[in-house]
Amino acid sequence: MARKKRKSETLYGVIGLGRFGMGLAQSLAAAGREILVADREQSKINQAAAFTDNAYRVDELTKENLEAIGLQECDVVVIGIGEQIDVSILATLTILRLGVKRVIAKAKSEEHGEVLKTLGAEVVYPEKDMAMRLANKLIAPHVLEYISLSDDIDIMEIALTGRVHGKTVVELNLRGQFGLNIIAVEQNDKLTADVRPDMILQAGDTIAVIGRPGQIKAFENYLQA
């Protein structure tokens, strides 16, 4: 079960190759990241072997089994087990005790998430996050993408309308008017994080803004006025 020799880059571990875990592992591999994956089903390990040399079948997520595949060497481990809450909690506790610096666990419910947080893991709610993204896209037609960083801070990609066409970033003054910061702009299919005050914005451009939900909603309403 010895793992392939590690490179100097960050090593990501993914435990549980369901739809969430497999999708995450494939995305990390496609981005050129070094990953280690584990699951109890051989068919999933066979599938993962197509994009990583570090794919292991593990029947039980014990400390001994996880150490044997080298999970303790990972800088980040994501636990994609959500349905089996008891297994998720025990796996999270075991991996934290292995000394992994950052553990992120998928939660099925708020109660499940609270237990994981108490143990010391970061928590994600994939189904809830997807539902919130879809709801925001349906409610706000100019919102293209939505990411919630916390209860108070969101990031949204917003398509600009003619209301701001021809204005520069400094003239739009999103921070002064709405308390928002622009973190990226996409113009003519080119994305840049170098947002200059004299950049001229056009209808159809996409901007990524960060701020409070109410502030973002106020700007979205302004665009539709």
pLDDT tens, position by position, 177-217: 999 999 889 898 888 888 999 999 999 898 988 888 889 88
The one-digit pLDDT tens for each residue of the chain (225 residues) are 445 545 557 899 999 998 889 989 998 998 889 999 999 999 999 999 999 999 999 999 999 999 999 999 999 999 999 778 999 999 999 999 999 999 999 998 889 999 999 999 999 887 766 655 555 555 555 555 556 666 678 888 888 999 999 999 999 999 999 999 998 898 988 888 889 999 999 998 989 888 888 898 899 889 986
Q: For the chain, give the DSSP string.
A: -PPPPP-SS-EEEEE--SHHHHHHHHHHHHTT-EEEEEES-HHHHHHHTTT-S-EEE-SS--HHHHHHTTGGG-SEEEE---S-HHHHHHHHHHHHHTT-SEEEEE-SSHHHHHHHHHHT-EEE-HHHHHHHHHHHHHH-TTEEEEEESSSS-EEEEEE--GGGTT-BHHHH-HHHHHS-EEEEEEETTEEES---TTPBP-TT-EEEEEE-HHHHHHHHHHHH-
State which amino acid sits at residue 38. Answer: A
Q: Which domains are assigned to the chain?
A: 11-124 (3.40.50.720), 129-224 (3.30.70.1450)
The token duo for 81 is 């087990």
User: For residues 159 and 134, what is the distance between their CA atoms, to the nearest angstrom?
Assistant: 16
Give the global pTM.
Answer: 0.62
